[in-house]
Amino acid sequence: MNSNPIGVFDSGVGGLSVLRHLVRLLPNEEYIYLGDTARVPYGNKSEETIIEYTEQAVRFLLQKGAKLIVIACNTASALALKQAELLSPVPVIGMIIPASHAAVRLTQNGKIGVIGTRATMNSNAYPTTIQHLSEKTLIVFSNPCPLFVPLAEEGFHNHPAAQLIASEYLAGFHTTNVDTLVMGCTHYPLLTSLIAHELPEVRLIDCGEYAAIEAERLLNYDRNEPMIHQYSSPQITFFLTDTTTTFLEIAERFLGFSVSLPERISLEHFGNTGNSI
């Protein structure tokens, strides 16, 4: 079991921001990164579709021998974590629970903001989880920021237009007096400086970082025999459902080092009646 890979699933390339934290905290592991780039983005899709796609991805990663699955996509975590856990004999870490734990620990005035895709916000996963984890009553304010993903992907995250849009999306948080804001989408850490400019007094939570901390804890301390694997450097294999010419460049921007060419695969045959394991 020890030498098996960690599976990381995202709707596209945004999950590389989560992989970066995993590789930093667990550098001696083997990783399989699965990006559903042929069907990205998930953020405006229906619950039914998001569950179907996530189940296909989990089946794929299990077939590849994953010893742990990290769902790096907040939208998939919000809507399909339970279904993923039901399918998987190995642990599944989503984005919502680690980030919610962090928000509960870090808030001092009990007022927490959450931003994310429309699907994540509509699911109410963050407010429900945050309240569930806290003994005292907290107030959670949330707002979808759907244009942040295309702005980040197009490299407009420092553009004056992005600042105007951020001002509009985040305006409501000024009056609510939140002291902590969960950036509930893997792309949003790319907009950290912009969000911080708008909300300078607010502590920003990067979900990927807390998910990586949870993975590190799980692999090192939670088992009788630690599962940690001893490669001299991170081994990462990339599987994408669509390959575009910009992947290598984007991956290096997210990760800070060169990566190998991705392999193009299809998830459509990993349905209920397909190659399930």
Residue 4 CB neighbours (<10 A) = 17
As measured in angstroms, the least distance from the Cβ of 170 to a second copy is: 14
Q: Are 87 and 61 in contact (CB under 8 A)?
A: no
As measured in angstroms, the least distance from the Cβ of 37 to a second copy is: 8
Q: Which amino acid is at 229?
A: H
> Which among 132, 248, 130, 250 is positioned nearest to 182, based on CA atoms?
130
As measured in angstroms, the least distance from the Cβ of 72 to a second copy is: 19
73 belongs to the catalytic site: yes
Is 260 strand, coil or helix? Answer: coil
Q: For residue 261, give Cα distances in angstroms to 162, 246, 249.
A: 31, 11, 11
Site for a second copy in 183-242 (CB under 8 A): 241-242
Q: Are 13 and 251 in contact (CB under 8 A)?
A: yes
Out of 6, 8, 72, 73, the active site residue is: 73
Residue 126 token pair: 């963050």
Contacting residue, 222, 252, 263, 268, with a second copy by CB under 8 A = 268
Q: For residue 217, give Cα distances in angstroms to 10, 134, 208, 221, 229.
A: 21, 21, 14, 5, 14
As measured in angstroms, the least distance from the Cβ of 268 to a second copy is: 5
Q: Which residues pair with 181 in a beta bridge?
A: 113, 204
Is 154 or 252 the residue whose CB approaches a second copy more closely? 154
146 near a second copy, judged by CB under 8 A: yes
Contacting residue, 11, 37, 77, 142, with a second copy by CB under 8 A = 37
Contacting residue, 139, 147, 204, 213, with a second copy by CB under 8 A = 147
Residue count of the chain? 277
Is 168 or 222 the residue whose CB approaches a second copy more closely? 168
Out of 185, 195, 215, 267, the active site residue is: 185
Contacting residue, 159, 174, 223, 253, with a second copy by CB under 8 A = 159
207 belongs to the catalytic site: no
Q: For residue 70, give Cα distances in angstroms to 21, 58, 157.
A: 12, 10, 26
Q: Give the separation between CA 266 and CA 60, rounded to whole angstroms.
A: 10
105 near a second copy, judged by CB under 8 A: no
Is 39 or 203 the residue whose CB approaches a second copy more closely? 39
| Active site (catalytic) residues | 73, 185
Residues that bind a second copy (CB under 8 A): 37-39, 44-46, 48-49, 146-147, 149-151, 153-154, 156, 159-162, 164-165, 168, 241-244, 264, 268
